[in-house]
């Protein structure tokens, strides 16, 4: 018994030293496949290797385990738990039909509790906007030790789960006709700017649907001497919160940063109370904005309708500016903003370039064909959502517009890979995409260059 007790004490001491040393605090899990992760055929064996990186020291036996789960567009689920020793873990699977497999793995302790890296200290100034942004970013950082990725089979054959509405074009023609009846009636208030070569304005432009377009417009001062500029419209991701004027906008383009809602800016009467309660005011039947199936059952009442019409109005407004060069109009965003970018290219006349990162709301009818949907609360499918699905707008992006998808995560199940693949397949314009292994919606692995990050493009004809 004494010998056994001594062994236990030695083991506990080793564990304590291991924890104090922070041997896993800089570690991460790198996942790779035996060939390009988007090049498999249906039924072909996919070989995943998960290899720990940057482990500083020995891992005591029995201290940690690798818990993993395989899911996919075929509805098959497998899971298991392996001792975590720092050595590579190899897993083989396949998918019998076109689609994606997802492999998620995480390090847990002997009791099954997820390992968490020691949080880094914040050294910025939280009293400044930049400091608050940095602090929020630090708090959002994942401290687990995990891999979230996957691979796809025959992804160029993927088609959307629900057919587009037969009157898709007629519906949007009617909406644009209604919008055309509303004059611009734009209001501008100049606000301070940190770039001496740029003027910034708070802007509100009338729009149909009950809410205006609101945002901040930046115009290079060189335009006052007759120089013309390209337009760059930026749109945010999902959420509600006060919009702030850009502090140091560039002087190489006209910038128009809009919000999704058309809410009041400070310069037009927005208050702390207004922003604090705005999110609750736009809820519908207990759902956050745009997620109410009853509201979405009629395309005329869907929150998406107003969002898209405000984007079209923003495009029209900026094209009316005398400072525009008359040729170049760029729309960019990520997630919800990525959907905006595709909406603008497919429905807003004159867009010449789009950057749509981790594009949101793609293939809303995926569940109809049994494909895997995301972890984030998903929109319940109703037929009318077809009027707003970016994969339908993608078919209408003209050849004169280039679409860049800077990142599509193979572990992103907020905006699932199958939806992004269908978006890509429906685009017939010049286009580029970067498929990133191990990337979730907001997470990029420390190292991602290599064979498992795949760049594809379709050049201009």
Residue pLDDT, tens place only, 302-332: 999 999 999 999 999 999 999 999 999 999 9
With tokens 């519908």, the residue in question is 284
The residue length of the chain stands at 461
For residue 358, give the nearest of 374, 377, 381, 347 by alpha carbon.
374
Residues 30 and 179 in one domain: no
Q: What is the pLDDT of residue 420?
A: 97
Residues 182 and 58 in one domain: no
DSSP secondary structure string for all residues of 62-117: TSEEEEEEEEETT---EEEEEE--SS-EEEEE--SSSEEEEEEEEEEETTSPBPBP
Residue 443, in any domain of the structure:
yes
Residue pLDDT, tens place only, 9-67: 444 444 444 443 478 888 999 999 999 999 999 999 999 999 999 998 888 889 999 99
Residues 181 and 47 in one domain: no
Reduce the DSSP state of residue 273 to 3 states and report it: helix
DSSP class of residue 317 equals H
Residues 315 and 379 in one domain: yes
Reduce the DSSP state of residue 185 to 3 states and report it: coil
Q: How far apart are CA 208 and CA 334, in angstroms?
A: 25
Residue 162, in any domain of the structure:
no
Query: Sorting pLDDT into bands at 50, 70 and 90, what band is 127?
Result: low
Residues 57 and 134 in one domain: yes
Residue 126 scores a pLDDT above 50? yes
CATH of residue 138's domain is 2.60.40.1930
Backbone angles phi, psi at 199, to 5 degrees: -105, 140
Residue pLDDT, tens place only, 73-100: 999 999 999 999 999 999 999 999 999 9
Through-space distance between the first and last CA atoms of the chain, rounded to whole angstroms: 80
Residue pLDDT, tens place only, 138-165: 566 677 899 999 999 999 999 999 999 9
Q: What value does the mean pLDDT take over residues 264-271?
A: 97
Residue 40, in any domain of the structure:
yes
Residue 431, in any domain of the structure:
yes
Where is the domain boundary, 113, 131, 157?
Answer: 157
Residues 285 and 143 in one domain: no
- Identify the domain containing residue 177 by its residue range: 168-458
Residue 270, in any domain of the structure:
yes
Residue pLDDT, tens place only, 168-222: 999 999 999 999 999 989 999 999 999 999 999 999 999 998 899 999 999 999 9
Residues 362 and 432 in one domain: yes
Residue 5, in any domain of the structure:
no
Number of separate domains in the chain: 2
Distance of CA 418 to the CA centre of its chain: 14
Residue pLDDT, tens place only, 357-377: 999 999 999 989 989 877 766
Where is the domain boundary, 157, 176, 199?
Answer: 157
Residue 358, in any domain of the structure:
yes
Residue 17, in any domain of the structure:
no
Residues 95 and 179 in one domain: no
Query: Sorting pLDDT into bands at 50, 70 and 90, what band is 452?
Result: confident
Residues 321 and 184 in one domain: yes
Where is the domain boundary, 157, 186, 210?
Answer: 157
Task: Note whether 353 and 328 are within 8 A (CB).
Answer: yes
């Amino acid at each position: 018994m004494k010998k056994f007790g001594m062994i236990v004490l030695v083991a506990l001491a080793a564990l304590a030293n291991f924890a104090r040393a922070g041997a896993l605090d800089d570690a991460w899990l790198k996942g790779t496949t035996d060939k390009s992760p988007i090049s498999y055929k249906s039924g072909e064996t996919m070989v995943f290797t998960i290899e720990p990186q940057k482990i500083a020291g020995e891992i005591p036996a029995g201290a940690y385990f690798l818990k993993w789960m395989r899911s996919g567009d075929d509805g098959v689920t497998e899971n298991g738990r392996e001792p975590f020793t720092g050595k590579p873990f190899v897993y083989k699977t396949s998918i019998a039909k076109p689609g994606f497999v997802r492999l998620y793995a995480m390090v847990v302790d002997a009791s099954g509790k997820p390992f968490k890296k020691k949080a880094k200290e914040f050294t910025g100034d939280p009293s400044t906007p930049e400091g608050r942004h940095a602090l929020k970013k630090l708090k959002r950082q994942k401290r687990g030790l995990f891999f979230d990725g996957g691979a796809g089979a025959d992804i160029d054959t993927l088609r959307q789960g629900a057919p587009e509405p037969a009157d898709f074009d007629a519906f949007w023609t009617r909406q644009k006709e209604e919008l055309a009846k509303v004059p611009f009636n734009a209001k501008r208030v100049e606000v301070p700017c940190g770039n001496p070569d740029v003027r910034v304005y708070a802007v509100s432009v009338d729009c149909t649907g009950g809410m205006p377009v609101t945002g901040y417009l930046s115009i290079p001062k060189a335009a006052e001497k007759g120089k013309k500029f390209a337009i760059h419209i930026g749109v945010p991701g999902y959420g509600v919160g006060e919009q702030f004027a850009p502090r140091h906008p560039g002087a190489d383009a006209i910038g128009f940063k809009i919000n999704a809602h058309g809410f009041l800016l400070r310069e037009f009467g927005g208050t702390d109370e207004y922003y604090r309660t705005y999110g609750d005011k736009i809820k519908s039947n207990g759902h956050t904005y745009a997620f109410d199936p009853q509201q979405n059952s009629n395309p005329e009442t869907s929150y998406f309708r107003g969002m898209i019409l405000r984007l079209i109005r923003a495009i029209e407004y900026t094209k009316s500016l005398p400072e525009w060069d008359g040729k170049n109009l760029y729309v960019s965003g990520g997630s919800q903003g990525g959907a905006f970018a595709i909406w603008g290219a497919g429905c807003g006349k004159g867009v010449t370039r789009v950057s749509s990162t981790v594009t949101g709301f793609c293939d809303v009818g995926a569940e109809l064909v049994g494909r895997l949907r995301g972890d984030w609360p998903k929109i319940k499918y109703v037929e009318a959502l077809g009027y707003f699905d970016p994969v339908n707008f993608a078919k209408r992006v003209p050849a004169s517009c280039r679409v860049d998808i800077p990142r599509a995560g193979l572990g992103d199940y907020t905006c699932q890979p199958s939806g992004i693949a269908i978006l890509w397949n429906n685009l017939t314009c010049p286009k580029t995409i970067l498929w990133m292994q191990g990337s979730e919606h907001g997470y990029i692995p420390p190292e991602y260059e290599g064979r498992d990050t795949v760049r594809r493009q379709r050049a201009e004809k």
